[in-house]
């Protein structure tokens, strides 16, 4: 009998398509917990959402009273918790290819059985890759908002914070103030001592600013040798006081250059957000106040006092 390949090809394609349709059906309507977990975790890069999904799926396999997760990502502590209580616990360090992606702990009043622990490990084995992706996404997102030299938030982060603060100020009639700080004669530092010393001085200045403000305040590297400090629930006088504290702290910075000791001063401009004001207008007023401080001798603070 003569072999006719062309007649077999449609049959093969039909089988492939049928297999694909079945695979799609199995993926969207999984009958096993691991496939369902993998599908649900693949729908988001939010670590918080993923942990919520993981807690739901785990509870169906191994009942627990509370779940805690902690991890340090991009210099910040990430903590997730759901449920309450339980004196017995099982703790898992989530590692993949030699990299840690946090610690997950389950608590409950009844001791965990060996077969239950085996089930938890199987579930975590399925979840670890999506959790890694979510952690890496946070790291990348944080990096895009962080100044590489000083480790503090950058201009893009400041722009987002100003927009958010402007909206909150308008909505709740809260006082928000902005301080811009510019290191005086910084170009001469680079010219006379080199960029390595200049970079070290910028790092020390960033640390000094963070120590000089409250935990609720935010410090940003605005650009070059210029920094910004966002002060929630703070009026003009309070912001001026903070600026003066920053200015005095900066004067205490001393860099040992071997044959000489280098110090620096800073000029500060202050502006409080006005109702209905756009972030760019707010920033421009603070910058204008900073310009006045520069023009009037440097190493001082000036406030853009607007009629409200």
Question: Could you list the active site residues?
Answer: 225
Taken in order 185, 186, 188, 192, is the CA torsion positive or negative? positive
Two tokens at 107? 């608590």
Q: Which residues contact 271 (CB under 8 A, 6 or more apart)?
A: 177, 178, 282, 285, 286, 288, 289, 303, 304, 306
Burial 209-236 (b: 16+ CB within 10 A, else e): bbebbeeebbbbbbeebbbbbbbbebeb
CA distance 142 to 153: 9
Q: Which two tokens stand for residue 219?
A: 């410090």
Alpha helices in the chain (DSSP H): 5-28, 33-41, 47-61, 114-144, 155-172, 186-193, 195-212, 236-250, 279-295
**Token pair belonging to 204:** 């020390």
Residue carrying structure tokens 């209905």:
276
Asked if 247 and 266 touch (Cβ cutoff 8 Å), the reply is yes
Do the Cβ atoms of 38 and 130 come closer than 8 Å? yes
Contact between residue 270 and residue 236 where contact means Cβ atoms under 8 Å apart: yes
């Amino acid at each position: 009998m003569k072999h006719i390949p062309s007649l077999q090809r449609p049959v093969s394609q039909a089988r492939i398509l049928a297999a694909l349709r079945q695979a799609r059906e199995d993926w969207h309507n999984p009958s096993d917990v691991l496939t369902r977990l993998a599908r649900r975790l693949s729908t988001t890069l939010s670590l918080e959402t993923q942990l919520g999904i993981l807690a739901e799926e785990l509870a169906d396999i191994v009942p627990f009273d509370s779940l805690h997760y902690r991890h340090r990502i991009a210099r910040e502590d990430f903590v997730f918790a759901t449920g309450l209580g339980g004196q017995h616990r099982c703790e898992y360090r989530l590692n993949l290819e030699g990299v840690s992606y946090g610690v997950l702990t389950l608590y409950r009043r009844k001791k965990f059985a060996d077969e239950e622990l085996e089930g938890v490990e199987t579930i975590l084995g399925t979840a670890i890759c999506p959790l890694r992706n979510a952690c890496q996404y946070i790291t990348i997102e944080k990096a895009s908002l962080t100044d590489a030299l000083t480790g503090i938030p950058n201009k893009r982060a400041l722009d987002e914070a100003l927009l958010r603060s402007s909206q909150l100020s308008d909505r709740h009639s809260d006082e928000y103030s902005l301080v811009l700080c510019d290191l005086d004669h910084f170009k001469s530092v680079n010219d006379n001592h080199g960029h390595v010393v200049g970079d070290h001085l910028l790092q020390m200045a960033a640390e000094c600013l963070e120590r000089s403000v409250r935990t609720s305040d935010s410090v940003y590297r605005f650009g070059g040798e210029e920094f910004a400090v966002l002060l929630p629930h703070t009026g003009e006088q309070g912001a001026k006081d903070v600026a003066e504290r920053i200015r005095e702290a900066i004067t205490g910075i001393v860099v040992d250059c071997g044959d000489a000791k280098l110090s620096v001063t800073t000029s500060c401009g202050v502006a409080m957000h006005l109702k209905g004001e756009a972030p760019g207008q707010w920033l421009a007023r603070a910058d204008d106040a900073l310009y006045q401080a520069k023009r009037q001798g440097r190493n001082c603070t000036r406030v853009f006092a607007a009629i409200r």
